[in-house]
C-alpha cells in the first residue's frame, strides 16, 4: 500500500496547492468590502422588478408625484401621510438597496431611479448624501497605487535629474497627442470651450462662451479617455509658475469653471442637487474625499484612487472645481462661488466650500499622483471639525437611516 507515503513529487504538489490557497486568501481578503457584502442590484433592474409588483408599482408612482415640484412643495408633499406610507413600502423593495455603476449604459436613468427614493429619505436633513455608486474596492485602487508609489517612476521622472528641463504637464499633453482618441476629444473640448459666443445686446449678463456645451465636451473627454492619459494632464507635478498655469488651464476654466456672476456656494449646491447626475457626482465626491480622522492619508480607507476618480467626476458639472491659482508649491482647489451675504447660513456655506479649499484628502491624493511617494510623504493636516455645519454631520460612508431604523 502507498497510503501515508509522501514522495518528493507529492510534497512539491502539496506545497504548490498550499501557496495557491494562501494567495487566494490574500487576494480575496484585500477587497475593500465589509463582511457579507454582495454586489448590489443596479437601479434600472430594481425599477423593473418593482414595476412587476402591483403594490410596489403603485407606491413608486405616488413617490414620483411626491418628489415633483419645487423645494417648498416637495417638502410639504413628503410630510403627508400618503407619501410617508409610500416611502415605507418602497424601503422594503429592491429600489432601497440598489446602486449604479460608473459609466454604465443607462447611468442617468439608474441615478434618477436611485434618487426617486433616497431624495425622499434625505430631503432637507443631510449635509452629506450617500453616493449612489457602487463602492470602490482595493483591487481597483492597487492598479493606480502601484504607479503612485513605485520608486522606479521617481528615477525616470523628468524632474528627477537636476539641470534638465522639467514640465510634466507639457509631457502629458504630448502623450495625449500621440493617442488618437485623447487628441481628438481634447481638441474638441478646447475648441468648444474657447469659442466666443456671438454678442446679443438683449442679454445684459451674457456668458462669453457656450458653457453647457463646454462642460458636456469635458465630461466626454474624461469619460472616454483612459485615466493613464487624462489624469496626468490634471494632476501633473510642477516646479514653476508657468507649468502650474498650464495645469490650471487644462479644463479651459474661463468657460467651464468661471461665470460672469459669482454665485453663492449654497446656490451652487442647490443647483447641483436639482440635477440627478450632478447630485450623484457631488455625493460621490463627499463619500470618497471626505476628510477622515484616524487614517494616514486623511482619505476614507486611505483610498487615493477613489478620491481622484470622484473629483474628476465633478468636472463638467455645475460644481466644476479647479486650481484656484498658479502656485506650483501650494495646491488649492476651489469652486467658483462665494459665501458672502449668506446671512445665518454662512457657517454651512463655508463648510461646503472648505470641502474643496481645505480638503487634505484631495490635496494629498493630487500630490501623491503628481509627485509619487515623495509627495505622499508630506501629508497636509487640517482640522475639519472646526467647520462642522449646523446640520448633523452624518458620515457619508453609511446610508441614511430609514424611518423604520430610527425608531
**Residue 186: what pLDDT?**
97
CB 269 within 8 A of CB 343: no
**Residue 200: what pLDDT?**
61
From 137, 111, 177, select the one nearest 317 (Cα to Cα). Answer: 111
Q: Of all residues in the chain, what percent are helix, strand and coil, respectively (each to 5)?
A: 60, 5, 40
From 216, 299, 215, select the one nearest 257 (Cα to Cα). Answer: 215
Domain range annotation of the chain: 43-124, 138-151+166-196+210-387
CB 381 within 8 A of CB 360: yes
From 111, 102, 145, 149, select the one nearest 310 (Cα to Cα). Answer: 102
Each residue's pLDDT, cut to its tens digit, for the chain (407 residues) gives 433 444 444 444 434 433 333 343 333 333 444 444 456 789 999 999 999 999 999 999 988 888 876 666 777 777 788 888 888 888 888 888 899 999 899 999 999 999 988 887 766 556 788 899 998 765 444 444 434 443 333 334 445 555 566 788 999 999 999 999 999 999 999 999 998 866 665 555 667 789 999 999 999 999 999 999 999 999 999 988 999 999 999 999 999 999 888 999 999 999 999 899 999 999 999 999 999 888 888 898 888 889 999 999 999 999 999 999 999 888 999 999 999 988 899 999 999 999 999 999 999 999 988 765 444 434 444 433 323 333 333 333 343 344 344 44
Q: What is the DSSP string of 261-276?
A: S--BHHHHHHHHHTSH
Strand partners, 264: 338
From 282, 260, 261, select the one nearest 271 (Cα to Cα). Answer: 282
At the topology level of CATH, where does 138-151+166-196+210-387 sit? Annexin V; domain 1 (1.10.220)
Helices 276-289, 360-376: crossing angle, 10 deg rounding = 50
Q: What is the pLDDT of residues 74-94, one digit of tens each?
A: 777 777 888 888 888 888 888
Quote the pTM value. Answer: 0.77
Q: Is 23 helix (H, G, I), strand (E, B) or coil?
A: helix
Q: Which residue has the cell 473640448?
A: 189
Give the separation between CA 359 and CA 350, rounded to whole angstroms.
12
Amino acid at each position: 500500500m502507498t497510503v501515508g507515503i509522501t514522495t518528493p513529487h507529492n510534497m512539491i504538489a502539496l506545497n504548490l496547492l498550499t501557496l495557491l490557497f494562501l494567495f487566494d486568501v490574500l487576494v480575496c481578503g484585500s477587497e475593500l468590502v465589509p463582511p457579507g457584502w454582495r454586489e448590489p442590484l443596479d437601479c434600472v433592474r430594481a425599477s423593473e422588478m418593482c414595476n412587476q409588483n402591483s403594490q410596489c408599482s403603485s407606491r413608486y408612482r405616488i413617490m414620483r408625484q411626491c418628489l415633483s415640484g419645487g423645494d417648498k412643495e416637495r417638502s410639504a408633499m413628503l410630510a403627508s401621510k400618503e407619501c410617508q406610507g409610500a416611502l415605507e413600502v418602497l424601503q422594503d423593495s429592491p429600489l432601497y438597496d440598489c446602486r449604479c455603476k460608473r459609466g454604465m449604459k443607462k447611468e442617468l436613468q439608474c441615478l434618477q431611479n436611485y434618487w426617486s427614493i433616497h431624495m425622499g429619505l434625505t430631503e432637507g436633513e443631510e449635509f452629506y448624501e450617500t453616493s449612489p455608486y457602487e463602492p470602490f474596492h482595493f483591487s481597483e485602487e492597487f492598479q493606480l497605487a502601484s504607479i503612485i508609489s513605485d520608486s522606479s517612476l521617481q528615477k525616470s521622472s523628468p524632474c528627477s535629474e537636476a539641470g534638465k528641463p522639467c514640465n510634466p504637464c507639457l509631457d502629458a499633453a504630448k502623450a495625449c497627442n500621440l493617442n488618437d482618441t485623447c487628441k481628438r476629444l481634447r481638441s474638441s473640448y478646447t475648441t468648444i470651450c474657447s469659442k466666443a459666443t456671438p454678442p446679443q445686446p438683449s442679454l445684459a449678463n451674457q456668458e462669453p462662451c457656450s458653457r453647457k456645451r463646454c462642460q458636456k465636451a469635458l465630461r466626454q473627454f474624461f469619460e472616454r479617455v483612459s485615466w493613464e492619459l487624462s489624469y496626468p494632464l490634471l494632476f501633473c507635478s510642477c516646479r514653476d509658475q508657468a507649468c502650474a498655469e498650464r495645469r490650471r488651464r487644462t479644463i479651459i476654466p474661463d468657460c467651464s469653471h468661471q461665470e460672469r456672476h459669482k454665485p453663492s456656494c449654497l446656490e451652487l449646491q442647490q443647483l447641483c442637487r436639482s440635477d440627478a447626475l450632478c447630485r450623484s457626482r457631488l455625493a460621490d465626491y463627499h463619500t470618497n474625499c471626505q476628510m477622515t480622522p484616524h487614517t494616514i492619508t486623511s482619505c476614507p480607507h486611505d483610498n487615493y484612487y477613489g478620491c481622484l476618480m470622484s473629483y474628476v467626476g465633478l468636472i463638467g458639472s455645475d460644481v466644476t472645481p479647479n486650481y484656484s491659482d498658479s502656485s506650483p508649491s501650494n495646491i488649492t482647489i476651489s469652486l467658483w462661488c462665494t459665501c458672502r451675504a449668506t446671512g445665518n447660513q454662512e457657517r454651512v456655506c463655508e463648510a461646503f466650500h472648505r470641502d474643496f479649499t481645505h480638503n487634505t484628502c484631495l490635496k494629498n491624493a493630487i500630490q501623491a499622483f503628481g509627485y509619487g511617494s515623495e509627495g505622499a510623504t508630506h501629508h497636509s493636516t487640517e482640522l475639519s471639525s472646526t467647520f462642522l455645519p449646523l446640520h448633523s454631520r452624518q458620515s457619508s460612508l453609511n446610508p441614511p437611516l430609514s424611518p423604520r431604523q430610527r425608531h
